[in-house]
Structure 1
Amino acid sequence: MDRACFAQSPDLRTASSVSSSLPDAPQPQTPTTPTNSSAPAPSNAPEDITLSGTPKRFLRDQKAIWTSPVRVQPLDAIWLVPFAVSTGVLINSDQHTMTQSLHISPSDQKTANTLSNAGIVALGAIPAGAYTWSLFNHTPQARETGLLAGEAVANGLVVNQAFKFVFRRDRPLVNNSQGKFFNSGITDSSFPSNHATAAWAIAAVVGEEYPGWLPRLTLYGLATTVSVSRVIAYQHFPSDVLVGSATGWLIGHYVYRTHHNYSLTPFSSRPTFEDYGAHRASKTTPTNASSSAAPVLQGSIADLPPDPIPDRKPLPFDPDPDTIGSTNVPMDSWIYPALERLSSMGLIPTQNVGIRPWTRQECLRQLQQAEELADRPDAFSPGIVAEAHRLMTDLHHELADEPVSYAALSLESVYGRFGTIAGPALADSYHFGQTWWNDFGRPLGRGSSFIGGVSYRAHYGRLFFYDRQELQHSPGNPAESPEINALINTVDRVSADDPQIQPIPARAAYDRQRPIELYGGVAFAGNALSLGKQELYWGPTTMGPLALSSNAEPNYNLRFVSTRPHPLPFIPSIGTYRFDIVLGKLSGHSYPARPWYNGQKASFNFGDYLEIGFTRWSVFWGQGHPITLHSFKQNVFSFNSTGSFTGDTGSAYGDRLDPGDRKSNFDFRYHLPGLRKLVTLYADAYSDDDPNPIAAPRRAVWNPGIYFARLPFLPHMDLRVEAVSSTGLATDFGGAHFFINGVYLDSNTNKGFLLGNAIGRDARAIEGRTSYWFSSRSRLEFGYRQNKGGTNFLPGGATITDGFVNNSFAINKDLTAETFFQYERFLIPSYMSGSQHNVSARFQLTWNPKIGIRR
């Protein structure tokens, strides 16, 4: 039977002499409206993509591109705002990136330049080859691919040249990478990058013509290589490449969606959420049967429009969570302690605390699991169920009440914080101590400080973006005395050949703007690949994990993480796993400057009660150390820890062949038998240069803890006790054993703050916290901590005692007030004579408005 018969009216079917023993299917009753008989029938014929038609299409494209700003809609803010913010941040940091972050030799710059040119040639060969093939074979899609890719490149380069003519930005090798605008010659403008524009235009068109994860991975991988190589070659700034890449990608997609013949591949790409269930080959609906018959008979089944059903309502958007991008919940959010308490009451057996932060989607999954288990009859005592519902009310409002959308831009929070420290403050946990713990490396010193912040998040399908900016006022710091500098040189320098550590100069009160977190990425199959300034929290403790915590300012990194638990392969009934792989750059180091770090963590849940995690990470590269694939391989896979040194100890400072300062961690969390819904035991362990702390527990730092989710006769209260020791279990190793390395003298720090637990070197501490929960957002917490430093590190040792009160109060559903009060007493003879004390307080007001644009 002719396929066209599927769309013929009954009269036409009779006339066509097609016989069938089956009765005719009932036809939909579609209301008709009178039409002008002289009006031409709507045509579904696709545009013929030919070489001769290219100039006409090109002119139409240019008109559409240059007039596109007048068609900007409010919903376009979903991608325009993140793009504008990212561009502004990069322009502001371009000089720092090119002069401080990148140090590429001239020969490597030349190699990178050659690589970028080769990448463009390789990408261009794909559509060129496709078009050449179509000249000798009947392959209309290959012909279209070649023509549209070339058209997209031409459109992009014309736009780029216009931008270059206007902005005239200096190249990175001019004027110490100042990147001045309106300064260079017209023919040598850096902004934006032509290479990036051409590469991403080709990748966008070819990736749409031939979809699939492997072709797109290859195409976008090549385009990314071209873009990054232009920066490494010192031909462009990062902002040049970002704007060029975005221009090419947008123009490439516009050219494809405007000119592509969907009859060649009617379902070549998934319809947008607005078009689910409808063919993309045509959006024209005939007004009556007679006007539709002629064009239908001449086409194929792929050209048929959907039946018009006036009463048809669009289906609600119900996506697979794995296909929608989701940003992380900040680690200072009230969501974490609330979800962790629910898990300790047995309501979230699949929770994994070893790898955080969690995405909003993962927090919602945990909440839904808790709600489901709490509703099971006789599974939990009435007291646990009642307490759980007190916690889940706020969580449901924050996570479950938010509309599900394919694309969204949301203002997450606006907050202001005033703090003051009356008395001498400790601000160097690497040597002496720290008055305020786990504060994202914010300004810390005697006097008053102020913070004003705003955060917003966005997603578009699988893509996501997050930005949290702060304006910070610091009281400044006094100059480091010669006596203190001499002491630091004594305890930090491993040998007499190590560099002399310079004293910290005085700094008056100052203001600065900081992105606390700024990243973007793509989600797929329960995983996420992200790039930017993002926090890592690898451990179950509240004092702070020993590897990576919220004590220091987050760093810039490339991260590949599983955003939810995955069933174990081959044995899914046993449990689940998660992983986190990261490559990032540290800041604030001097000995050596500009080191990098890489880390890999795997965490497993066995059954409902046991979680185990293994971590391997390392500080490596930096000034004086080659940034090569060979050095990376040596760091990750070799077992040699001495570089080129042949003695009994580690490498000397400055050894170019040293593989890096490698570390390992082990952590677990266990719900105690008989008290599964009340008591949780957990621990975090850290080791330098051992494959894992459990291989040599006496040479490791241990941080055990116990958590009581509810107290007897006090169901609204919990209790947490933790202890940590960096002195060694059996022997006091002093201050040169943990968190420091002979090649990396300020190893486990970022901008002067310890990356992990603020306990410091050669110290022991115990901390207790108890809270009264009014709700998830309203809580009153009392805490005590004492930190004792060993005499093998600081002469006379150290004793630091803190008592603190933390309070959060939900004023209404969107406004929260937080207060913090602390009394601190410390005795550190090598730092200040006699006993010292300070009183500090903070007040913060946070507005979570739930204002956004969604579709």
Structure 2
Amino acid sequence: MNVSAETSSSLPDAPEPQVATDPASSSATAAEKVEPPVTFAGTPRRLLADQKAIWTSPLHLRPSDAIWLAPLGATTGLLIGSDQHTMNSLIQINANDRSKFNTFSNAGVVALGAAPAAMYLWSLFNDAPQAHETGLLTAEALADSLAVSEVGKFISLRDRPLVNNAKGDFFNSSPSASGFPSNHATAAWAMASVIGDEYPGWITRTAVYGLATGVSVSRVLAEQHFPSDVLIGSATGWLIGHYVYRAHHNFSLNPFDSKAMPDDFGVPRTHKTQQAQGSSQPVPVAHHPPRLFSEDDDPDSIGSTNVPMDSWVYPALERLAAMGFIPGQSVSIRPWTRQECLRQLRVAEDQIDMEQYNSPRLVSEARRLMADLHNEFEIEPNYYESLSLESVYARYGTIAGPALADSFHFGQTWWNDFGRPLGRGGSAIAGYSIRANYGRLFFYDRQELQQSPGNPAESLAINQLINVLDRLPNFGDPTIQPIPERSAYTRQRPIELYAGVAFEGNALSLGKQEIYWGPTTMGPLAFSSNAEPTYNLRLVSTRPHPIPFLPSLGTYRFDIVLGKLSGHSYPARPWFNGQKLDFNFGDNLEMSFTRWSIFWGVGHPITLHTFKNNVFSFNSTGDISTGNGGSGGYGDRADPGDRKSNFDFSYRLPFLRRAVTLYADAYSDDDPSPIDAPRRAAWSPGIYFARLPFLPHMDLRVEAVSSQGLVNDFGGQHFFINNQYLDGNTNKGFLLGNAVGRDGRAIEGRTGYWFSARTKVELGYRQNKGGIQFLPGGSTITDGFLNGSYAFNQHWQAQVFTQYERFLIPSYMSGSRHNVSGWLQVTWTPELHLHR
């Protein structure tokens, strides 16, 4: 890779810093290369040079710049298309709070400017050259970025969110009122970029980038800008600030640098050396300043995206673990990152090499699985910067006969399908996924075009029944309106769209991303792949960490989430927060504990006080005036939220550790943990046989689930619903967790024959029975299904699903009904990469 490819943007490269290598070198040559010192008097000259470089930078674009341009362009386009929906449906802030957020954004910009200004003043009276440079370069980056931002506003003339119902029309406003891009975001990120590059310690960067992020977010919450305005402003500021630092920084002031990794990242290096005068010891010759990043193949220093939950990778790795080759595997917190999947693969390789007493058949079966995993992850750790087209796929399916599409009340014909459209007739999907990383930063985008057959209007009788099932009249619950008819339609939908940063085996990410909390395949009771992924802010440990002070005891992982639910009406726009802590004790036992809650929403104030009450209070009722929980009816502003808890475990049985795994998931409403009151909890046990006697290529999994209670049938208003949150544990109409529904019991068994990790055939049976305490006459749903996947080669795979379903739900449809359904999907994984 040439030197110019090391910059993070297409802006011209900064001059290389000079490191003395030979006292006898020509001073004239050195003088030609040394950047003039940063002085106040030289600011006009530098500003003119900066503006020339910035406005001519598009002429210097290279194909490798698509690594960051493609994700930025795609995200900007998606945000512009969804800006009106975001501001009208997701951002509902009163005038007083908007004023507070506006004040915070102003104060944040002032604070970011005050720090380098103070440093500059300090340098005038003290010998502090780095502080002096920081003050001048920060001001220079601020001026450069605001000049570019003002030109952008003058060209775009975009309306602001409070104008014309947040349509965000371009070429419609006056130049002074134009909102694209955001000046606040541009200024904040330009200053933060310079400060962060001058002082690149994690504390400094966390502070300045955190404050810049706060400024950006507050501009949206203050309804002064759309998300796309803020994104472009932030990117513009960061790029210009980074360029100003790279172009004018005196690298002899400190050993820090922000250069990207070279092409041979992860490969052992040999440094150029020369003999120093009077010494036989070689002296390193620095062609550029030392980097902050490790030169070792360290997965913690590279951002890594998650493997989608419908990938063939999960069954393959779980089967390897069940055969004893991945001890201490953590299945309760998923999805896994690609780096974590690679780590597990390497553990399996080590186990096979170390344990010579393994049976040849067992090793042969494991290597069949590992061959495809090798092909998938072989280049994973090699690139510091990369952009990959991960997959392109198309699916066509049909349901012949009446379909069930409401597991919250009656049932669901297709489950664990990311909340895709479901109804009688034909449906089609076309989608793609891309992933990118830049050092510790990562980005993922999976988009689909979905065609749905639509749905008939909800009958008056069914609507009346739902009002009986969901409402508690004594609490003043609102009347639930019927679902209108919707004809066939086509929609574009992001399945996952997120970005984040990796650090120390953890990741902080923001966007639409999957949460899967539990060991079951039929679906965990808290969060599964049954509903469309939620928009959330997530802090998760991406790999196991040794337990502090007792590392020999085992490892732990954690997952902390704050997100927003969609498709709710009673009340609209609720939020959720969740915390999960997972432990692996030794090689064979995993246990995890979960606490999560639905809270906020229309009619419930969004404040730190209500957040504190939700997380730390154990009181659900009481005097509303105390603020510790309300005893009022629906819409009680002091209600602390709908708190829930989970417990799950996975255990490889003694004497059968290479064949049998026992596991269970438990869920409780308004109890600190299901194990405190197991009889009031919903349970989902399961057992997995990784190999069958005399049939080494076959496996068997049997799972059961009950939301009726272990001893008594609690009816349909005990789990997954609350008198304040009538839409309960759903996202866009689909249950977040297991599709068993309310007051139901289900059992599912599936057995598969593995030709390889990507080619297998699976046969399954499922029966779901609903209790008479919920639906009049109860319900019975029986499914027989066949799953198959075939890998034509490394890049092409076909998947087929077919199912026969019979259901008897007297309160929904008279008599016994049945349907036949199926779908065919073809996936192309092209391995098209741009990297450096």
- Aligned with residue 729 of structure 1, among 704, 710, 716: 710
- Show the counterpart of 1:836: 817
Contact 1:785 1:802 in 2 (8 A): yes
2:88 is equivalent to residue 99 of structure 1: yes
Whichever residue aligns with residue 439 of structure 2, its letter is G
Deviations 1:748-796 (A, max 9, x none): 0000000000000000000000000000000100000000000000000
- Cα distance change on mapping 1:813 and 1:274 into 2, 3 Å: closer
Whichever residue aligns with residue 272 of structure 1, its letter is A
- Aligned with residue 220 of structure 1, among 209, 213, 222: 209
Whichever residue aligns with residue 124 of structure 1, its letter is G
2:176 is equivalent to residue 187 of structure 1: yes
Aligned partner of residue 601 in structure 1, secondary structure: strand
Whichever residue aligns with residue 694 of structure 2, its letter is F
For 1:81 and 1:558, the matched residues in 2 are separated by: 23
Contact 2:415 2:530 in 1 (8 A): yes
For 1:432 and 1:444, the matched residues in 2 are separated by: 14
- Aligned with residue 327 of structure 1, among 294, 305, 309: 305
For 1:824 and 1:581, the matched residues in 2 are separated by: 38
Aligned partner of residue 694 in structure 1, secondary structure: coil
Contact 1:644 1:655 in 2 (8 A): no
For 1:462 and 1:307, the matched residues in 2 are separated by: 23
Contact 2:685 2:705 in 1 (8 A): yes
Contact 1:826 1:837 in 2 (8 A): yes
For 1:5 and 1:352, the matched residues in 2 are separated by: 51
For 2:341 and 2:381, the matched residues in 1 are separated by: 15
Contact 2:260 2:439 in 1 (8 A): no
Aligned partner of residue 516 in structure 2, secondary structure: coil
Contact 1:317 1:404 in 2 (8 A): no
For 1:650 and 1:493, the matched residues in 2 are separated by: 17
- Show the counterpart of 1:25: none
Contact 2:299 2:381 in 1 (8 A): no
- Show the counterpart of 1:24: none
- Show the counterpart of 2:280: none
Aligned partner of residue 464 in structure 1, secondary structure: strand
Contact 2:501 2:509 in 1 (8 A): yes
Aligned partner of residue 527 in structure 2, secondary structure: coil
Deviations 1:86-122 (A, max 9, x none): 1111111111111111111111111111111111111
2:514 is equivalent to residue 535 of structure 1: yes
Deviations 1:388-442 (A, max 9, x none): 0111111111112557111110010000000000000000000000000100000
- Aligned with residue 314 of structure 2, among 336, 353, 372: 336
For 1:237 and 1:643, the matched residues in 2 are separated by: 40
Deviations 1:7-40 (A, max 9, x none): 446xx9xxxxxxxxxxxxxxxxxxxxxxxx9996
Shift of 1:648: 13
- Cα distance change on mapping 1:328 and 1:306 into 2, 3 Å: closer
- Aligned with residue 364 of structure 2, among 369, 379, 386: 386
Shift of 1:728: 0.7
- Show the counterpart of 2:78: 89
- Aligned with residue 470 of structure 2, among 487, 492, 500: 492
- Cα distance change on mapping 1:505 and 1:396 into 2, 3 Å: same
Contact 1:643 1:658 in 2 (8 A): no
2:735 is equivalent to residue 757 of structure 1: no
- Show the counterpart of 2:323: 345
Deviations 1:663-709 (A, max 9, x none): 00000000011111110000000000000000000000000000000
Shift of 1:350: 2.1
Q: How does 1:635-714 map to 2 (within 5 A)?
A: 635-642=614-621, 644=623, 651-714=632-695
- Show the counterpart of 1:779: 760
Aligned partner of residue 353 in structure 1, secondary structure: coil
For 1:78 and 1:563, the matched residues in 2 are separated by: 23
- Show the counterpart of 1:132: 121
Shift of 1:273: 2.2
Contact 2:630 2:637 in 1 (8 A): no
- Aligned with residue 549 of structure 1, among 499, 504, 528: 528
For 2:408 and 2:124, the matched residues in 1 are separated by: 69
Contact 2:729 2:737 in 1 (8 A): yes
For 1:607 and 1:736, the matched residues in 2 are separated by: 40
2:580 is equivalent to residue 601 of structure 1: yes
- Cα distance change on mapping 1:763 and 1:40 into 2, 3 Å: closer
- Aligned with residue 570 of structure 2, among 569, 575, 591: 591
- Aligned with residue 443 of structure 1, among 400, 421, 425: 421
2:771 is equivalent to residue 767 of structure 1: no
- Show the counterpart of 1:273: 261
Shift of 1:650: 6.0
Aligned partner of residue 433 in structure 2, secondary structure: strand
- Show the counterpart of 1:297: none
Aligned partner of residue 269 in structure 1, secondary structure: coil
- Aligned with residue 358 of structure 1, among 330, 336, 340: 336
2:807 is equivalent to residue 818 of structure 1: no
- Show the counterpart of 1:420: 398
For 1:477 and 1:61, the matched residues in 2 are separated by: 58
Shift of 1:319: 2.7
For 1:319 and 1:818, the matched residues in 2 are separated by: 35
For 1:627 and 1:103, the matched residues in 2 are separated by: 10
- Show the counterpart of 2:6: none
Q: How does 1:102-251 map to 2 (within 5 A)?
A: 102-251=91-240
- Aligned with residue 349 of structure 2, among 351, 366, 371: 371
| Count of aligned residue pairs for this structure pair | 803
Contact 1:643 1:655 in 2 (8 A): no
Whichever residue aligns with residue 701 of structure 1, its letter is A
Contact 2:263 2:383 in 1 (8 A): no
Whichever residue aligns with residue 606 of structure 1, its letter is F
Contact 2:137 2:245 in 1 (8 A): yes
- Show the counterpart of 2:540: 561
For 2:29 and 2:317, the matched residues in 1 are separated by: 63
Instruction: Please list every run of 5 or more consecutive structure 1 residues that lacks an aligned counterpart in the other structure.
Output: 13-36, 278-282, 294-302, 309-314
2:765 is equivalent to residue 788 of structure 1: no
Shift of 1:630: 0.5
Whichever residue aligns with residue 149 of structure 2, its letter is N
For 1:471 and 1:112, the matched residues in 2 are separated by: 36
- Show the counterpart of 2:608: 629
Deviations 1:580-620 (A, max 9, x none): 00000000000000000000000000001100010000000
For 1:545 and 1:621, the matched residues in 2 are separated by: 24
- Cα distance change on mapping 1:143 and 1:788 into 2, 3 Å: same
Whichever residue aligns with residue 210 of structure 1, its letter is Y
- Aligned with residue 411 of structure 2, among 429, 433, 442: 433
Q: TM-score scaled by structure 1?
A: 0.91
- Greater Cα radius of gyration, structure 1 or 2: 1
Contact 1:420 1:842 in 2 (8 A): yes
- Cα distance change on mapping 1:264 and 1:728 into 2, 3 Å: same
Shift of 1:269: 2.6
- Cα distance change on mapping 1:807 and 1:619 into 2, 3 Å: same
Shift of 1:271: 4.8
For 1:389 and 1:276, the matched residues in 2 are separated by: 29
Aligned partner of residue 57 in structure 1, secondary structure: helix
For 1:319 and 1:624, the matched residues in 2 are separated by: 51
Deviations 1:236-272 (A, max 9, x none): 111111111111110000000100011111x123653
Shift of 1:198: 0.6
- Aligned with residue 53 of structure 2, among 64, 87, 91: 64
Aligned partner of residue 573 in structure 1, secondary structure: helix
- Aligned with residue 36 of structure 2, among 47, 70, 85: 47
- Show the counterpart of 2:456: 478
- Show the counterpart of 2:481: 502
For 1:775 and 1:626, the matched residues in 2 are separated by: 53
Shift of 1:641: 1.1
Whichever residue aligns with residue 54 of structure 1, its letter is T
Aligned partner of residue 342 in structure 1, secondary structure: helix
- Cα distance change on mapping 1:207 and 1:769 into 2, 3 Å: same
Contact 2:623 2:629 in 1 (8 A): no
Root mean square deviation of aligned Cα: 2.5
For 1:221 and 1:488, the matched residues in 2 are separated by: 46
